[in-house]
Amino acid sequence: MWFEQVLFFLAAFGALAGALGVILLQNPFYSVLSLVGHLLGLAVLFLLLAAEFLAAAQVVVYAGAVMVLYLFVVAYIGGTDEPLRPERGGVALFGPVFAIALAAELCIAFVASGLQALDTRGADVGAGFGSPGQIGELLLTDFLIPFEAASFLLLMAAVGAVVLARRRRGLEDEGTGPMRSRDDVPPTETLEVRL
């Protein structure tokens, strides 16, 4: 029992520290690495909540594949340091205040919701709860339509990303890569937005 509590607080600390690291570190590269730590902490929490398959998917898909995609883009566009407190004023200074208010409001909403089961460890579940077999059965029976819709959405996102980020024909025809400097571009071409 105490082992579960120790593990929860370790994982919760890791997840929260990772989240704070994402917004407090200046270099986007370190922000991405911090998010990987956050995701690993969250995977441990999923394990504590008896969501084995979700924890595995979180580590493999999220902390693995998606974060590698982020790292590729950060390396491609070159992560530039951004001053944390720029001369912006207005909305940006409002951020921490908004966050504290939001956290307080959500906590009040959760704790004061009057749900009796919130103060328990949850319903009794069997050994197979959250296993890949159970999740797969649910996906192919009760949640077949969301499952198929998600697969279509993935396909659309993949095609959309290719369309968005592919090399433009106009650039390739001139035999120059996308990395040439702005001075090489004829003046008429710079005015046209190639999205």
Partner 1 sequence: MDVTWYLVLSAFIFAVGAAGVISRRNPLVVLLCLELMLNAGNLALVAFSRMHGSEAGQVFALIVMVIAACEVVVGLGIIVAMYRNRLPIDIDEMSELRG
Tell which positions 56-85 bind partner 1, by CB under 8 A: 57-58, 61-62, 65-66, 69-70, 73-74, 76-77, 79-80, 82
Please select the residue that binds partner 1; options are 75, 157, 170, 189, rule is CB under 8 A: 157
Per-residue burial over 162-184, b if 16 or more Cβ lie within 10 Å, else e, is eeeeeeeeeeeeeeeeeeeeeee
Within 25-127, residue ranges assigned H as helices are 28-48, 52-57, 67-77, 91-111
Work out whether 10 is an interface residue with partner 1 (CB under 8 A): no
Smallest gap, in angstroms, from Cβ of residue 173 to partner 1?
A: 15
Total residue length of the chain: 195
Cα distances (Å, whole numbers) of residue 45 to 34, 74, 103 = 17, 28, 20
Tokens describing residue 80: 């530039």
d(CA 170, CA 193): 12
Using CB under 8 A as the binding criterion, the count of chain residues that bind partner 1 stands at 96
Give whichever of 154 and 174 is closer to partner 1, judged by the CB atom: 154
- Residue 23 Cβ, how far from partner 1 at the closest point, in Å? 4
Does 111 sit near partner 1 (CB under 8 A)? yes
The least CB distance from residue 41 to partner 1, in Å, is: 10
Dist. CA 22–CA 18, nearest whole Å: 6
* Cα 136–chain centre separation: 23
Candidates 75, 125, 148, 170: give the one binding partner 1 (CB under 8 A).
125
* From candidates 10, 16, 68, 75, binder to partner 1 by CB under 8 A: 16
Question: Of residues 10, 68, 75, 96, which one binds partner 1 by CB under 8 A?
Answer: 96
Taking the complex as a whole, the smallest distance from the CB of residue 15 to partner 1 amounts, in Å, to 6
